[in-house]
Every structure is written in structure tokens, then in C-alpha cells.
């Protein structure tokens, strides 16, 4: 297993190029840029966790493909307990770093394998072998992947192949005996310059005529033709000013990009789908349903930190034992454990799927993500309610350290029991980070891993057959309406 230091060296050696601050940087400049380094730190922390003796029983396991010890992050779950462990380790890791642990794309591996096998059986391709060998490689070298899923989409009412600009969805522009060539872009790319690989999946279901857009493959993060363009976060300026208090989460943070694919070559052995439009729905629905129970660990890990921070600010303000404050913090705990319970329920109801692995219940998995997409907004509302207006009106760290006014700020921001103003400022900034800043829960829960609306659509499709029909029959039976 890699250490955090070895992972960081990998990222330097990959010599990423990044467009940022109106220019372009590369190599160690990218990894050490103040907007990028916090994300590198966060991922490095997850690598170092694997070397802590008391955590290895949770974070390491045996690959069913090779028999070797691997990171559980890269494991294809083979038991119900494997799926539960994945939710639990995600909650633990996110709680430890106070944000996303960036280990989600591996949840797509079972979906890729299942779909690849189905295509092979229908078309005589060898995608399943490609995917299996790639996953072995991924496990052996303890890699981390960036999900390359979200397309630009252009006019969202228009299918990919009928767009005015044909590159609004990533597409294959050439096929030859060596491989394929990709052109287009992927947006909302979390960790593109801090990941070994990009796992390319379709963003939507494609139909006949859109064969060039039906593509799934693995691309090295530094492949020729890839360009990374940094996005803007609400706290970027604070990172550059090297303000520790004002970041809230001083060491860990996000970085996202727009990724351009300018005629990127992918060898056939890294391709898992190419042109089989009738299987795109299968792939994206499986990938979403398998991933979404992990939300029960992901968002609860962040929210564990938020709840702890709100409890602490209540203590600092001397209101921790006030009845309505205790009630609001209890409500936060309730919402958090409901999210967790939904994820665990989907795992407990797992079923063996097509000789690949143990797949969480798809209906309950989508439900877990849908519940999270709504619950975090209530968590944030309650956090803001207890914290008070200070969450948006606190002076900068620079003002607290200005000798001309520091005594006054220390005097007027001191808390109950002579709690130092610095402690008040630090915990308020952490709450700000988790609710409105660079680590905001709401942004991730609303659209990360698929929007709440996408989950609702999936849930209805999954329920409208036998589960919904059987409910209708029960309703008829109980009120005396003849059952057809």
C-alpha cells in the first residue's frame, strides 16, 4: 500500500499541467499551489490511514481477483459486510478530514463489469476481460481515480448527436486497431490533478445515432491531449493569503477543474464500452445505484464534524444546555443518522449480481442519496440557527492579529468561561467552511453522485413494476375493490 508521501510523489511525477490564475503551471507547482495542495493533503491522509495498525482491519482486505492484500477502497464487494464496511470507512475517513475522501469512483467498478459482461454476451466483445485486468492493475498499484462523468450538455433538450456543437458530450472521433480517440470535455471534475486515472463514463443514456457518445474507459490522468482548467471556489483568496483560522479546515480542501479532451488516445485494453448505446442506461443506472448507498457514510462523516462544531460553539457561547439548542442539535443528529441508516439498509439488502459481486439494493441506494440531498440543507439551517449571525459577520484573521485592534476583538469576541476569541473564530470558520465555504455540504449532496431528481426518477422506475403493483393490489384488497 502506498503511503501519503509516495502518493504525493506520484502526483509530482505525473507532471500535470493546470490553467489557473490566468496562466499555466506544471509539475510540483500544481501540487503545491495553495488551491490544490489541500486536496492533495486530504487524499494523502487517506493513504496514510491504511498504514495505521488499528485501522488496517477496516481499510485493507483481500482481492477476490488476485488473492493479494489491497485497499478496501478498490475492492469489488463480495459480501454484505463488504458493502457495509465501505459505508463505514467512508464515514470514518470523511469525519477525519472534515470533507470528501475522494474514493467514490471505485463504486463504478461492479457496474462496469456487469455491463461489460452483458455487452460481451450480446456482441462478442472482450470488454469484461479489459475491465477485469484494469481493475487488477488499479488494485496492485493502489491508484486513485477521478470520475469523468459530467458532460457540458449544451442544450439539454437536444440529444448528444443532434447538438449544434458535436462536442457538448464527450465522444469518440476515431477508432483504429490500436484504440480510440476522445474529444470533448468533462466538467465538475473533482481531483483531476490529484488522481492517477480518469474513469470515463457516459453522463446520460444515449440512443440510436449517438454511438460515438457511448463510451466508457480508463485514461491516465496525464495523457497527452488532456487540459485541466481550475474552477473558482468561494475561499480561494483565503488559501492564497495563507490564512489558517479563516479557512476553518486549515489542512484539507477541495479542488475541481474543467477537463478538456483534445484528441486523447485510449488503447483498446482500457476501453469497456464503445458504441453500444443500448447498454448506456444499464451502465449509468447501475453505477448510480451502487454508488449512492455510500452517501450514507459520505455526508454523515462531514455532518459528524458539523454537529461537533455546533455543539462546541454552543458551549463557547454558554447556551449548550438551553432547551431549544439541545433540541436543534438532537435534530441534527437525527437527520445524520437517518442518512446513515438509509445507506446501511441498502447494503444489508444486497444481492449477488451476475457473478461479479454483491450489489446494494438499487431502490434503497437511490433513496439514501435522495434523503441526503434534502437532509443536509436542514442540517445547515440548524447549524446556522445555533451559531448565529457571526457565521457571516466575523472579522478576518488579519484583524484579530492586528496589534492596534487585537485587544478589542479579543475582549468583544471572548466566550463563556473566558473562552479565547481565537477559539471562537476558529470554530465559526469551520462551520462556515462546512455550510457556505469550500467544504460546503450542500453542494456535494445536491449534485455529487447524481442529483436528487435523478435519484427520484430511478426510484420510480425501480418501484413502478412489481413493488408498486403489489401495493396497488393490497390497497384494492383492503377496501374491497376486485383485483384483476
The residues, any chain, with a CB within 8 Å of residue 183's CB and separated by 6 or more, are 167, 170, 171, 173, 261, 262, 263, 264
Size (the chain), residues: 484
- pLDDT band for position 359 (cuts 50, 70, 90): very high
pLDDT at 141: 98
Q: How far apart are CA 181 and CA 242, in angstroms?
A: 41
CA 269 distance to own-chain centroid = 26
CB atoms within 10 A of CB 162: 13
Sheet strands (E) in 337-474? 351-353, 357-359
Residue with cell 442529483: 451
- pLDDT band for position 439 (cuts 50, 70, 90): low
Q: How far apart are CA 256 and CA 190, in angstroms?
A: 4
CA 202 vs CA 149, 329, 359: distances in Å: 6, 40, 20
Sign of the CA dihedral with 21 first, then 24, 26, and 29 last: negative
**Taking 90 as the threshold, does the pLDDT of residue 236 lie above it?**
no
pLDDT at 438: 60
Mean pLDDT of 174-194: 96
pLDDT in tens, 10-41: 999 999 999 999 999 999 999 999 999 999 99
**Taking 80 as the threshold, does the pLDDT of residue 477 lie above it?**
yes
pLDDT at 157: 95
Residue with cell 374491497: 480
Per-chain mean pLDDT for the chain: 94
**Taking 70 as the threshold, does the pLDDT of residue 308 lie above it?**
yes
**Taking 80 as the threshold, does the pLDDT of residue 440 lie above it?**
no
**Taking 70 as the threshold, does the pLDDT of residue 470 lie above it?**
yes
**Taking 90 as the threshold, does the pLDDT of residue 104 lie above it?**
no
Q: Which CATH superfamily is domain 289-474 in?
A: Butyryl-CoA Dehydrogenase, subunit A, domain 3 (1.20.140.10)
pLDDT in tens, 280-294: 999 999 999 999 999
pLDDT at 139: 98
Pairing of strands 17-20, 226-230: parallel
> Residue 303 phi/psi, 5° resolution?
-70, -30
pLDDT at 274: 98
- pLDDT band for position 453 (cuts 50, 70, 90): confident
pTM comes to: 0.94
**Taking 90 as the threshold, does the pLDDT of residue 146 lie above it?**
yes
CB atoms within 10 A of CB 241: 14
pLDDT at 467: 74
pLDDT at 461: 83
Q: How far apart are CA 363 and CA 342, in angstroms?
A: 11
The residues, any chain, with a CB within 8 Å of residue 20's CB and separated by 6 or more, are 33, 35, 229, 230
Domain range list for the chain: 289-474
Render 53-114 in DSSP notation, one character per residue.
TTTHHHHEEE-TTTSSEEEGGG----SHHHHHHHHHHHHHHHHHHTS--S--GGGGHHHHHH
**Taking 70 as the threshold, does the pLDDT of residue 138 lie above it?**
yes
Mean pLDDT of 71-97: 96
pLDDT at 355: 84
Residue with cell 468561494: 234
Q: Three-state SS for 396?
A: coil
User: 261 forms bridges with which residues in the sheet?
Assistant: 184, 226
**Taking 90 as the threshold, does the pLDDT of residue 332 lie above it?**
yes
Nearest to 217 by CA among 263, 167, 271, 172: 271
Mean pLDDT of 180-208: 96
**Taking 80 as the threshold, does the pLDDT of residue 392 lie above it?**
yes
User: 159 forms bridges with which residues in the sheet?
Assistant: none
Q: What percent of the chain has pLDDT over 70?
A: 99
Mean pLDDT of 64-70: 97
Q: What percent of the chain has pLDDT over 90?
A: 85
**Taking 70 as the threshold, does the pLDDT of residue 423 lie above it?**
yes
Q: How far apart are CA 213 and CA 201, in angstroms?
A: 10
Amino acid at each position: 500500500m502506498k503511503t501519503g508521501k509516495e502518493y504525493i510523489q506520484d502526483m509530482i511525477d505525473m507532471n500535470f499541467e493546470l490553467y489557473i490564475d490566468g496562466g499555466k503551471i506544471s509539475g510540483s507547482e500544481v501540487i503545491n499551489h495553495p488551491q490544490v495542495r489541500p486536496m492533495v493533503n486530504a487524499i494523502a491522509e487517506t493513504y496514510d490511514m491504511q498504514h495505521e495498525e488499528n485501522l488496517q482491519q477496516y481499510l485493507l482486505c483481500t482481492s477476490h481477483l488476485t488473492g493479494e492484500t489491497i485497499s478496501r477502497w478498490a475492492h469489488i464487494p463480495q459480501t454484505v459486510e463488504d458493502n457495509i464496511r465501505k459505508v463505514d470507512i467512508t464515514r470514518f475517513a470523511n469525519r477525519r478530514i472534515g470533507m470528501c475522501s475522494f474514493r467514490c469512483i471505485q463504486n463504478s467498478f461492479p457496474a462496469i463489469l456487469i455491463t461489460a459482461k452483458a455487452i460481451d454476451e450480446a456482441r462478442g466483445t472482450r470488454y469484461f476481460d479489459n475491465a477485469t485486468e484494469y481493475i487488477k492493475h488499479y488494485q496492485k498499484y493502489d491508484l486513485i481515480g477521478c470520475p469523468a462523468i459530467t458532460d457540458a450538455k449544451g442544450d439539454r433538450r437536444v440529444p448528444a448527436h443532434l447538438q449544434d456543437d458535436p462536442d457538448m458530450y464527450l465522444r469518440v472521433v476515431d477508432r483504429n486497431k490500436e484504440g480510440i480517440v476522445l474529444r470533448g470535455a468533462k466538467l465538475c471534475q473533482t481531483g483531476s490533478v490529484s488522481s492517477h486515472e480518469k474513469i470515463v463514463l457516459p453522463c446520460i443514456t444515449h440512443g440510436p445515432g449517438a454511438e460515438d457518445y457511448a463510451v466508457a474507459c480508463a485514461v491516465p490522468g496525464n495523457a497527452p491531449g488532456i487540459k485541466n482548467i481550475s474552477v473558482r471556489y468561494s475561499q480561494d483568496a483565503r488559501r492564497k493569503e495563507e490564512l489558517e483560522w479563516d479557512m476553518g479546515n486549515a489542512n484539507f480542501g477541495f479542488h475541481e477543474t474543467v477537463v478538456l479532451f483534445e484528441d486523447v488516445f485510449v488503447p483498446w485494453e482500457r476501453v469497456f464500452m464503445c458504441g453500444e448505446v443500448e447498454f448506456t442506461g444499464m451502465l449509468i443506472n447501475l453505477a448510480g445505484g451502487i454508488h449512492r448507498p455510500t452517501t450514507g457514510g459520505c455526508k454523515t462523516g462531514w455532518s459528524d464534524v458539523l454537529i461537533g462544531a455546533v455543539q462546541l460553539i454552543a458551549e463557547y457561547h454558554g447556551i449548550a444546555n438551553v432547551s431549544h439548542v439541545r433540541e436543534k442539535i438532537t435534530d441534527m443528529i437525527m437527520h445524520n443518522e437517518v442518512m446513515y441508516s438509509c445507506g446501511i439498509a441498502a447494503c444489508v439488502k444486497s444481492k449477488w449480481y451476475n457473478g461479479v459481486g454483491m450489489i446494494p439494493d438499487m431502490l434503497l441506494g437511490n433513496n439514501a442519496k435522495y434523503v441526503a440531498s434534502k437532509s443536509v440543507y436542514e442540517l445547515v439551517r440548524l447549524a446556522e440557527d445555533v451559531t448565529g449571525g457571526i457565521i457571516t459577520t466575523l472579522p478576518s484573521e488579519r484583524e484579530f492579529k492586528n496589534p492596534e485592534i487585537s485587544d478589542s476583538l479579543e475582549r468583544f469576541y471572548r466566550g463563556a468561561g473566558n473562552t479565547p476569541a481565537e477559539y471562537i473564530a476558529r470554530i465559526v470558520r469551520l462551520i462556515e467552511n462546512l455550510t457556505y465555504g469550500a467544504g460546503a455540504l450542500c453542494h456535494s449532496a445536491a449534485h455529487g453522485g447524481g442529483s436528487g431528481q435523478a435519484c427520484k426518477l430511478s426510484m420510480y422506475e425501480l418501484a413502478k413494476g412489481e413493488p408498486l403493483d403489489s401495493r396497488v393490489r393490497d390497497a384494492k384488497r383492503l377496501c374491497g375493490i376486485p383485483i384483476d
